[in-house]
Amino acid sequence: QVQLVESGGGLVQTGGSLRLSCAHSGRTFNTYTMAWFRQAPGKEREFVAAITWIGGNVEYADSVKGRFKISRDTTKNTHDLQMSSLEPDDTAVYYCAACPIASTANCWHPNHPTAWGQGTQVTISS
């Protein structure tokens, strides 16, 4: 059974940076795509970024392109989200997720992941 555990959330000022990390266990991930989603109060969960475990192909939501960077470490079984130039609209609970397919084209909708982390709060103050 896949288990995902996030770390690294917190409170930063506008323009600041944060790094989120997701540790995974329970299986090998060669055929998976790993992702980050977020959910702000009163809004639906939305896609942020995804990366294929093999090959490292990436995809980003338009709202975070050029500011966020997703990466993975296949030796540590982790994937990270480096967030820069943070804005108040980035405030949300961030979830790491795993999609059982090696394609970012099939890991962008909240229905695509089959495993989720517990979520970590990211708050950007203005």
Which pLDDT score, from 0 to 100, does residue 57 have? 97
Total residue count of the chain as it appears in this document: 126
Structure tokens at 122: 């990211």
Which pLDDT score, from 0 to 100, does residue 94 have? 98
Which pLDDT score, from 0 to 100, does residue 5 have? 96
CA atoms within 13 A on the CB side of 20: 32
Mean pLDDT of each 10-residue bin along the chain, 126 residues long: 94 98 92 97 97 96 98 96 98 98 94 97 96
Q: How far apart are CA 36 and CA 1, in angstroms?
A: 19
Which pLDDT score, from 0 to 100, does residue 101 have? 93
